[in-house]
Amino acid sequence: MRPILQAAWKDLQRHRRDPLSLILWLAIPACIGTLISLAFGGGSSPASSPRPQLLLAESDESLLGSILAGAGNGGAPLDVERTSIEEGRRRINNGEASALLILPPNLARAFLDGEPANLELITNPAQRILPQMVEESLEMLLELAFYADQLFGESLRDLDLEPQAGQWVLPDLRVAALSVEVNQVLEGLRQVLLPPRLQVEFVPAPTAEEDAEHQATFLSIMLPGFLLMALLFMAQGLSEDLWKEREWGVLARVTSAPLGIRNLLAGKGLASLCVMGLAASFVMLLATYVLGQEFAHPFWATLWSTLTGLALLALFMPLQLLGRTRQGANMITSCVLIPLFLLGGSLFPLESMPDFIAVLSGWTPNGYALVHLRALISGTSGPAQLFLPTLVLIALICIGFGLAGVLLPRFVRRK
C-alpha cells in the first residue's frame, strides 16, 4: 500500500501546483450551465412563461373598455394596462409593449346596436409571438361578445350604458333583474353545454409557497448533470496525464524502480479519487450554501459522484493507452467523451429526451450514474438502494484499471 500512497502523494503535489486545470474542469460545465439557464430563462426560481402586454387606449371610458381591462386580471393570458392614446402610441413606438388596442368612441352603443365599429390594433414589430397571442386573445373575446349579444342582447340594449358624469349609474333593481335573467339562461344552457358526463373534483389551489416547493427548479434538474459533466471532463483530463509522464520520460524510469508501473497507475487512481472527491464536495457545498439547493443525502450523493468520476477515469485510461500518439489518443477519448456528454443527461435533461434516447442514456456510465445521483439528491432513494449500482461502478473501475495495467508496460516501451 505504501508505494501506492507514494505515487498518489506525488500526483496530489502535482495537482496542487496546477490549480488552473482543476478550476477549468469545474468552470466549463458551470459556464455551459449558466448559458443554458440564461437561454431558457431559468434560474433558481421556477421558470415563468412570458406574457404579452396589451396597452388599451380609448377616448371615452366605456363598459366594454372596462371589461377588456379586467380580462387581464380574470385569467386571460395577457396583461392589460389602460393608457391614453398618445401615451400608448409613444410606448408602442418605443417597443415597451406587445400591442396597443385603440377603442373608438361609443363602442358599446355601436356593439349593442349592431353597427360597425373599427378597433385599431397596433402590434410591436420587434416581437413575433406575443403580439400574435394578443390578436388571438382579442378574437376569442370578440366571439364571446357575439354569443353574449345573442343571449343577452335584448336585455343589454334596454340598459342605459352611457356613463353619466363619468360613471355608470344603473338602478339596483335593473341590475338584479339582469343578473337573474343571465343566471336563468345559463342554468338552462348548462344541460346542453355542460352535460354531467364528467365528474369534477374541486381541489384547493396550492399557495404560492407550496407551489414553489413542489415545482422542480432549473438548478435541481440540471445540477447533478453539471456535476457529472465536470467529472467527465476531469476524467478525460486526468487520464491524459499518462502521456505527459511518458513524454517526460518518468514512466520509463519508474518501470526500472521497485515501485513498479502498476503501483504508479493505482496511485494515480487514488490521487484522482481525492481530486474528484474534492471537486464534488465543492460543488455540493456551493449548491447548498450559495444557491440554496437542498439535498436529501448530501454525503452519499458526494460519495456516489466521486466514485462515478473514478469509473469515468477507468474508462478513459485504457483508451489513452491505445493511441499511437498523444493527438491520436485525444481523438479516441474525444470520440467517447462527446457522445457521453450529449447522451448522459448532462446537457439535456433526461425528461426532455425522446424515449429511445433516454433508454440509451441509461446505458451510458454517466447517464446511469445520473439517475441514481438525482434519486439521492431528491430523496427518492437512499444509500441502501445504492448497493447494486455501487457494485456496477466498482466492476467498471476494476475492468478499466485492469486493462490499463495490461496496456501500460507496452505503452511505456513503445517508441
Partner 1 sequence: MIQITELQKRYGDVTAVEDVSFEARPGEIFGLLGPNGAGKSTTLGCISGLLKPSKGSVTVLGMDAQLEPTKVKSRLGLVPQELALYEDLSAQENLEFFGAAWGLGGARLRDRVSEVLDRIGLEDRRRDRVTTFSGGMKRRLNFACGLVHEPDVLLLDEPTVGVDPQSRVKLLDLVREEAERGRTVLYTTHYMEEAESLCDRLAIVDRGRVIACGTLQELSTQLAERELVRLGGHFDVAAIRSLLPQVPEWAEAEIVQVTTEHLVLAKGEASRKLPSLFSALANSGAVVRETVLTRPSLESLFIKLTGKELRE
Please give the residue ranges that form the binding site for partner 1 (CB under 8 A): 2-3, 6-7, 10, 13-14, 17-18, 245, 248-250, 252-260, 412-413
Instruction: Determine the residue type at 87.
Output: E
Rounded least distance, CB 251 to partner 1, Å: 8
Q: Indicate the residue among 21 and 155 with the shorter CB distance to partner 1.
A: 21
Rounded least distance, CB 260 to partner 1, Å: 8
Rounded least distance, CB 233 to partner 1, Å: 20
Cα separations in angstroms, 6 against 127, 260, 265, 317: 63, 12, 11, 20
Spatial CA neighbour of 376 closest among 280, 290, 291, 278: 280
| Cα–Cα dist 152/260, whole Å | 95
**CA count, 13 A, side-chain hemisphere, 122:** 18
Query: DSSP 3-state assignment of 58?
Result: strand
Cα separations in angstroms, 148 against 76, 119, 143, 157: 18, 19, 9, 12
Q: What dihedral do alpha carbons 381, 385, 391, 393 form, nearest 10°?
A: 0
Q: Indicate the residue among 9 and 168 with the shorter CB distance to partner 1.
A: 9
Q: Give Cβ neighbours of residue 67 (< 8 Å, ≥ 6 apart).
A: none
Which value, in Å, is the radius of gyration of the alpha carbons in the chain? 33
Instruction: Determine the residue type at 200.
Output: V
Q: Indicate the residue among 22 and 412 with the shorter CB distance to partner 1.
A: 412
- The burial of 400, by beta-carbon neighbours within 10 Å (0-12 exposed, 13-18 middle, 19 or more buried), is given as buried
Q: Indicate the residue among 40 and 248 with the shorter CB distance to partner 1.
A: 248
Rounded least distance, CB 245 to partner 1, Å: 8
Rounded least distance, CB 262 to partner 1, Å: 12
For residue 122, what is its C-alpha cell?
Answer: 397596433
For residue 54, what is its C-alpha cell?
Answer: 396589451
Q: Indicate the residue among 261 and 314 with the shorter CB distance to partner 1.
A: 261
Rounded least distance, CB 337 to partner 1, Å: 24
CB 246 within 8 A of CB 406: no
Q: Indicate the residue among 58 and 245 with the shorter CB distance to partner 1.
A: 245
Q: Give Cβ neighbours of residue 184 (< 8 Å, ≥ 6 apart).
A: none
Neighbours of 371 (CB within 10 A): 17
Rounded least distance, CB 354 to partner 1, Å: 45
CB 374 within 8 A of CB 232: no
Query: DSSP 3-state assignment of 381?
Result: coil
Which DSSP symbol is given to 329? H
Q: Indicate the residue among 298 and 409 with the shorter CB distance to partner 1.
A: 409
Q: Indicate the residue among 13 and 184 with the shorter CB distance to partner 1.
A: 13
Q: Indicate the residue among 267 and 365 with the shorter CB distance to partner 1.
A: 267
Spatial CA neighbour of 30 closest among 309, 287, 292, 318: 287
Rounded least distance, CB 20 to partner 1, Å: 12
Neighbours of 408 (CB within 10 A): 23
Rounded least distance, CB 237 to partner 1, Å: 14
Rounded least distance, CB 412 to partner 1, Å: 7
Q: Indicate the residue among 178 and 274 with the shorter CB distance to partner 1.
A: 274
Rounded least distance, CB 316 to partner 1, Å: 21
Q: Indicate the residue among 257 and 331 with the shorter CB distance to partner 1.
A: 257
